[in-house]
Structure 1
């Protein structure tokens, strides 16, 4: 391996890497020095500098462990405003693999906001735009995100109600504008939308993938998976295609791409949840 251009910085980074793998118990100086491959006096000085900036801390029994500043760095790196740039290569690779439109979205209240998209080589029949908002309850992206939460009846009613209000606001547009006309969570009477949403989210958790068919645009379907950080959904990725390409074997192939091709492409710290056994 090529030597580091600045040895002291390299020692500090090696110490951080080692601390990151030790967990909350940490390790004593001697064990750390052996793992990093430096003398105890050298590592002691390095750890003192890391402690000064909060990247390492010492427990009551003298062991060293990772400090809170390291967590702040990770949180900043994976902040929502960074996600489009961090995930764009993965979206591009996914789109190239399936030759379909791929979206990245996050929850904003009761809606999904589209943060990024990658269009395929072939012509796309669906309108989409970065910054567009849609009700979370009727989109594959939103359902993927909501499926990671333990929503009570009141929360389900709020999400279903937002979809219903959007459909009513669209007037005669029906499924092409809001989703209620296609049997979405807001399609029926009071309480029915929430019950339907609960069923849809339960199925998404079981299958490890959420979907919708013609609930936002005629002839168009989507499948999506949530992207987790430390067990919490921070975003979702979807594949959008004409209905005929999201049925049967074609759908299974696109779901496979989401569940098998996407995870290795994600930045460190981001994962796709497993499907239920």
Structure 2
């Protein structure tokens, strides 16, 4: 399914899970385009500067509790959200519209859109499309979000806790 989504969107695709205050990239499909941004599997990204991270924060428990439990909100770019009240407002928006956006918050020139993979209404993972801002334009976000939602619904039944735990342990370099 992730390869099909990459082919349909022309973008790189990631599936991530939460590990502490980070998103662990469990699966990654490269964009077929020569101009792309990639986040390899087995790497981690701070939750607050990741579209997947925002999905994982917005769809697990109370938003206030999730944000208050984070370590410092480090500025990675000039677009990073570093104030807790702004992050909480952003997560409310994510919850309302069903998808999250990372708009150059971690890497200048890179945009990502993500949706949660839900089991019983709780995010167990998130799937993201990422690419250069010149190719992942604002006018495409709603269409890509719809494609992501469809993929997440297809993936969710087979993405059990055991699979997630195994993916994390197999990719842990220690």
Q: Normalising TM by the smaller chain, what interval?
A: 0.7 to 0.9
Residue in structure 1 matching 2:139, options 235, 240, 249: 249
Residue in structure 1 matching 2:110, options 220, 235, 238: 220
Q: 1:150 to 1:185 in 2, by over 3 A?
A: farther
Matches within 5 A, 1:85-234: 90-151=1-62, 153=64, 155-159=66-70, 161-164=71-74, 167=75, 174-175=76-77, 181-182=78-79, 184-186=80-82, 193-234=83-124
TM-score, structure 2 normalization: 0.82
Partner secondary structure for residue 163 of structure 1: coil
Partner secondary structure for residue 73 of structure 2: helix
Considering Cα pairs closer than 8 Å and 6+ residues apart, tell me whether 1 or 2 has the greater RCO: 2
Partner secondary structure for residue 113 of structure 2: strand
**Who is 2:170 aligned against?**
none
Q: Which has the higher strand share?
A: 2
> Deviation string for 1:70-109 (max 9, x for gaps)?
xxxxxxxxxxxxxxxxxxxx11111111110000000001
Q: CA RMSD in A?
A: 2.0
Q: Which has the higher helix share?
A: 1
User: 2:153 and 2:11 mapped to 1: Cα distance?
Assistant: 19
Unmatched segments (≥5 aa) in structure 2: 160-174
Contact map agreement 1:106 1:114 (CA 8 A) in 2: yes
Deviation at 1:150, TM superposition (A): 3.0
Corresponding residue pairs, total: 159
Unmatched segments (≥5 aa) in structure 1: 1-89, 168-173, 176-180, 187-192, 271-277
Which structure would you say has the larger Rg? 1
Residue in structure 2 matching 1:265, options 154, 164, 168: 154
